[in-house]
Structure 1
């Protein structure tokens, strides 16, 4: 009858403690491999957190294009509501699409307060396209456009500058000497190098009625997924060139540098993961070599155990458990060490970091798998030794 698992674990532990130098050398190999894998996974986790943080500080990822230009006729073409409807139907993976015009040198006045913000005329779905969230009030509705209502949405910066302690909702402000009613407030988002000026949005319908401009200078497209940004941009350019033959269009996106940064980080993470995997395999080879040496050294012990009733399975499981215990201990120490080092680095450079159990489980599981795999064949060899020859030390 074979030994119980608990007895085998105790026996394996005693064997490892009986030869601390051999156990330490095996554990070091596993430690280095798991540390490399764990560090690689942490780099990926932090890079994703950095990207998410940068995206959260901006509007939603968008593709944009300006009025097309014909280099032969020297004419430009602008967009209409019909174009928006058409592209919304033709482009797959699109969350929303909006048109936009700018107002030059806008001046906003409320009572005795004055500001010169950025002013943009937008189509009805602009909040969804930009990803902006309302702090208070409501968004534009179809009724605002159909009835040419003089309503306006402003950002928090403009609220603080113009209204002080007054509730801005339903207040009348003047934009270029024309009255508008404030119906909504959005959060302010500015890049570090950008000087805050405030921003106001008004419906494209009322803008067209005031200025006489029916067409739009710019289209903004928001994909369902940031991963589809480039694919949709390529398809969008093809659709534009088919709809407006002879005209050239510049297609860009609002997160180009972040996308490039993400690609670079992904490439670095993959390269580091390969290095970590190699280090882990090297650690496994070390376990295999030391286990083989251990089998040779302990041949008489194996013969004695077989002679007193130990089964082949007992012998094999003992050596496999020794490899697994070494992997577990070395891997655990490596994960704790890498986590501590990552916390210090993240605090030093103000990086977003949160310990993920999944990362630790993957790193530790890979260590145990490599350890068990490396120790399997030496353990199998040990279990197949002839008891009589083993007692003689052969």
Structure 2
């Protein structure tokens, strides 16, 4: 009886410890079973703030990776626009020339001024011009300058407007072309070499023993060999029917890219009819769409851009590995917390969600700063090299999309690993 009384009076230590430990556990473990998403999100912010130095260092890798990625994408867009925009006029240009091997004095393969007029009357053709080129010494007073002289039409400058802009004066009109007026438009390089500081407008120059009045000067585009070093005159002024193959090329502009194929076929049929060439005859005329050259340039730049983006992607992988390492360390350090939550009834999905959200939050915060830093870096570089600064919504979407993918991709394994910890083993190891 006395022994039973002593047992009855003995303190029940285990139940007391369990009851007393519940409030402490609930204070330290915030993600209880059935917690709302907001509660889990609050736990995520608390965990990141508790290890803020490590979080900042981890985000630094994401910031640098996203910044490199965004800056490369923006720079590639600016470079593509800078290189190709002057040639956008090629998208609606059709070139007509005798086929290779067909350049003879035989009439069927000679382009004539009549061809220019006939092709210009086709539907959807908005401009047409032959190109009659030669080299000559242009003389003004006692000053001479060897340059290229090209006979073109009154619509030539409009077709080439992205490359040829009138800086002073004007281009000749159709009336002056038909009346064979001796007028000329010169490039800025030719103007500087011949006239120096003298105003070229209405001055008289000598070209191949013929006198021409300068009515326009083109804006500078880029040195000798370009439109800066050319003298343009009406083709009707230099065209000599007795000289065979004087017109080697005819360029035509159509109203839209949708009309290219139909107009090209109409040109082929018309030239075969005018020159009495049987359909399918070898030789004849080549009709090419200049848009193919533009597309080849775009393809080359796309390959270069893809290569640059691939290189920048490696920095993103490095940042993602940094997140994975941090989350694995975090799982190891928080083994006791994970064990307590599991013991109190937290489901594996709850633990997975919290650790996954921590990785995702690191990526998104780092991605936001990375996008801003990348755009600032791209703006500085484009301003320095003279490229256009082109920012599109896709750049922001791409930056945050990549950041999200990194957070989910590299945070998923640590999150799953944390959710699979056995509660008893976790508590014992803690």
TM range, smaller chain: 0.5 to 0.7
2:158 to 124, 128, 133: 128
Q: CA deviation at 1:236?
A: 8.0
1:184 aligns with 2:216: yes
The residue matched to 1:148 in structure 2 has which SS? coil
Question: Quick check: 1:319–1:375 contact (8 Å CA) kept in 2?
Answer: yes
Question: Quick check: 2:79–2:387 contact (8 Å CA) kept in 1?
Answer: no
1:369 aligns with 2:402: no
5+ residue gaps, structure 1: none
2:334 to 283, 295, 298: 298
1:205 to 220, 231, 236: 236
Q: Residues 199 and 242 (structure 1 numbering): CA distance in 2 closer, same or farther, change over 3 Å?
A: closer
The 5 A counterparts of 1:21-100 are 23=55, 27=59, 30=62, 34=66, 37-38=69-70, 40-41=72-73, 44-45=76-77, 47-48=79-80, 51-52=83-84, 56=86, 61=90, 66-68=97-99, 75=106, 77-84=109-116, 96-100=127-131
* In structure 2, distance between residues paired with 1:260 and 1:309: 63
Bigger radius of gyration among the two? 2
1:11 aligns with 2:40: no
Q: Deviations over 1:169-218 (max 9, x none)?
A: 334444344343322221244556x499943222122334x776696232
* In structure 1, distance between residues paired with 2:63 and 2:121: 55
Question: Quick check: 1:59–1:189 contact (8 Å CA) kept in 2?
Answer: no
1:319 aligns with 2:355: yes
The residue matched to 1:105 in structure 2 has which SS? strand
Q: What's 1:270 paired with?
A: 306
Q: Deviations over 1:76-120 (max 9, x none)?
A: 63323453466567798x8744212135635444x4544443222
* In structure 1, distance between residues paired with 2:211 and 2:96: 31
Q: What's 2:24 paired with?
A: none
After alignment, is 73-82 or 235-244 more displaced? 235-244
Question: Quick check: 1:117–1:197 contact (8 Å CA) kept in 2?
Answer: no
Q: Residues 179 and 293 (structure 1 numbering): CA distance in 2 closer, same or farther, change over 3 Å?
A: closer
2:174 to 133, 142, 151: 142
Q: What's 2:250 paired with?
A: 219
Q: Residues 239 and 252 (structure 1 numbering): CA distance in 2 closer, same or farther, change over 3 Å?
A: closer
Q: What's 1:239 paired with?
A: 268
* In structure 2, distance between residues paired with 1:204 and 1:369: 61
Q: Residues 46 and 136 (structure 1 numbering): CA distance in 2 closer, same or farther, change over 3 Å?
A: closer
Question: Quick check: 2:204–2:211 contact (8 Å CA) kept in 1?
Answer: yes
* In structure 1, distance between residues paired with 2:103 and 2:232: 35
Q: CA deviation at 1:138?
A: 1.9
TM-score in terms of structure 2 length:
0.62
Q: Residues 335 and 197 (structure 1 numbering): CA distance in 2 closer, same or farther, change over 3 Å?
A: closer
Question: Quick check: 1:64–1:218 contact (8 Å CA) kept in 2?
Answer: yes
Q: Residues 79 and 267 (structure 1 numbering): CA distance in 2 closer, same or farther, change over 3 Å?
A: same
Q: Residues 83 and 319 (structure 1 numbering): CA distance in 2 closer, same or farther, change over 3 Å?
A: farther
Question: Quick check: 2:135–2:146 contact (8 Å CA) kept in 1?
Answer: no
1:169 to 201, 216, 219: 201
The residue matched to 2:407 in structure 1 has which SS? helix
* In structure 2, distance between residues paired with 1:272 and 1:187: 34
Aligned residues: 377
Q: Residues 288 and 5 (structure 1 numbering): CA distance in 2 closer, same or farther, change over 3 Å?
A: same
The residue matched to 1:267 in structure 2 has which SS? helix
5+ residue gaps, structure 2: 1-34
The residue matched to 1:102 in structure 2 has which SS? strand
Q: CA deviation at 1:300?
A: 3.5
Aligned CA RMSD, in angstroms, stands at 5.4
* In structure 1, distance between residues paired with 2:71 and 2:309: 9
Q: CA deviation at 1:136?
A: 1.6
Question: Quick check: 2:130–2:247 contact (8 Å CA) kept in 1?
Answer: yes
Question: Quick check: 1:36–1:275 contact (8 Å CA) kept in 2?
Answer: no
Q: CA deviation at 1:154?
A: 1.9
Question: Quick check: 1:59–1:130 contact (8 Å CA) kept in 2?
Answer: no
